[in-house]
Homo-oligomer: A and B are copies of this chain.
Amino acid sequence: MSDTIKYILDEDRMPKNWYNIAADLPEPLAPVIHPGTGQPIGPEDLAPLFPMALIMQEVSAEREIEIPEPVRDVYRQWRPSPLMRARRLEKALDTPARIFYKYEGVSPAGSHKPNTAIAQAFYNKEEGVRRLTTETGAGQWGSSISFAGALFDLEVDVYMVKVSYQQKPYRRALMETYGARCVASPSEETNSGRAILEQDPDSTGSLGIAISEAVEIAATNDDTKYSLGSVLNHVLTHQTIIGQEAIMQLEMADDYPDIVIGCAGGGSNFSGLAFPFLGEQFRGGKAVRAIAVEPSACPTLTQGRYAYDFGDTGHLTPLVKMHTLGSAFVPPGIHAGGLRYHGMAPLVSHLVELDAIEARAYDQTECFKAAVDFARAEGVVPAPESSHAVRGAIAEALACKEEGQSRSILFNLSGHGHFDMQAYTDYFSGQLEDVQYDKDKLNAALAELPEIAAE
């Protein structure tokens, strides 16, 4: 049998720095704007929400940001994560392509999210924070920050999108096992939550609403800070350990990717894999096709507008320039809850505008079909989010077959689907549908973009 090959990097080769793509951007990022003044914000504006160490990373132009030793100590429990050559999948597809995947599901929380959760918990603890608030959709991020909170002795309050809270009791159980408190959002605990419930007592919530709740608690409590699992520059930077390891592991395989693929909700998982390769390219190295894959039900990059918008529904956050469906847009319920966000990381949006990244959208049933094909060949059951990357990789591998070309394809298998098996049950029973977003509601949400967007 042509079998799966695993490339393990020695622990002493684990990267000592995160890679900050800001240093290599062909054009700088648009500034973050204060919604009250319309002027660029400064570090002090973010201080109620984040520890200063993270704020400085958010605005840093240094190419390398040192990973603190205590963070590396925790990383070593599962990092370097394995890079796999999916030879059984190649054989099943009968493709001349070389398919590699970086497997981040080996972390205790089961996804790539602890790469930043551990770092964020460390810096918050260092600055004397007692409690973290955050939001979660599908629960990958909530579980990861709960895990990190347990290690660094921080209280963690997770505002979980109500529909997920009800549909995914086992994600909640995982967070509680780590000692976190999990609250269905919108909740009665915040002004933002109460305002939503007053308008719509049956609201099933959204990531945008849950962010408002978590931000509000952090902004109004001195001992509490807010933690975000994607979108922000420093979060994407923390994830670059993935791509840096992959570069070294592909060297072991004597290969280099032609195509790098990740799913994109907020953008951190795609960026974590792709940015170190894009950095090589920007510095004159080999060019790669970097493909961000999103759900067609929440097509931020492929159908959204590149404009200034709020990160949350309650408009408590600063304004960032990004691809957005409008902060009022509530995406339809798909199983890839982690990809149901109205916005996209400013860095990813910027690179799409610069044509450095391709974006592509797939329906959920074709992603689940790809995930099942992958599981039967490789044994690992992908998270619904990661199944979008699997779908993208299989599409490229089949294109290679059609063209008789052997390209090297690398994708980020960012997490396992053990907590998402209801989705697979629905898929097998034929109950999984390709839900479409409401175009009128999208247009309405885009019409509500803040004024500065016209600037």
Interface flag for A220 (CB, 8 Å): no
Q: With A and B bound together, what is the CA distance between A380 and B416 in angstroms? A: 14
- Cβ-defined contact, A70 with B1, below 8 A: yes
- Cβ-defined contact, A178 with B11, below 8 A: no
Interface residues of A in 348-388 (CB under 8 A from B): 372, 375-381
Number of A positions contacting B (CB below 8 A): 47
- Cβ-defined contact, B6 with A77, below 8 A: yes
Stretch at the interface among A166-174, A210-218, A287-295, A331-339: A166-174
Interface flag for A76 (CB, 8 Å): yes
- Cβ-defined contact, A108 with B179, below 8 A: no
Q: Could you mark each residue 1-24 of chain A with 1 if its beta carbon is under 8 Å from any beta carbon of chain B, else 0?
A: 101111010010000000000000
Query: Which residues of B have CB within 8 Å of A74?
Result: 1, 3-4
- Cβ-defined contact, A372 with B6, below 8 A: no
Supposing A422-B170, A428-B176 touch, asked if A378 and B3 sit within 8 A by C-beta, the answer is: no
- Cβ-defined contact, A177 with B381, below 8 A: yes
27 A-B pairs (CB sep. < 8 Å): A3-B76, A3-B77, A4-B77, A5-B76, A6-B11, A6-B76, A8-B8, A77-B379, A108-B380, A108-B381, A109-B379, A110-B418, A150-B375, A150-B377, A150-B379, A151-B379, A169-B421, A172-B425, A173-B422, A173-B428, A174-B381, A174-B421, A177-B375, A177-B381, A177-B428, A178-B376, A416-B418
Q: Nearest 7 A-B pairs (CB), nearest first?
A: A108-B379, A170-B421, A418-B418, A3-B73, A173-B421, A173-B425, A150-B376
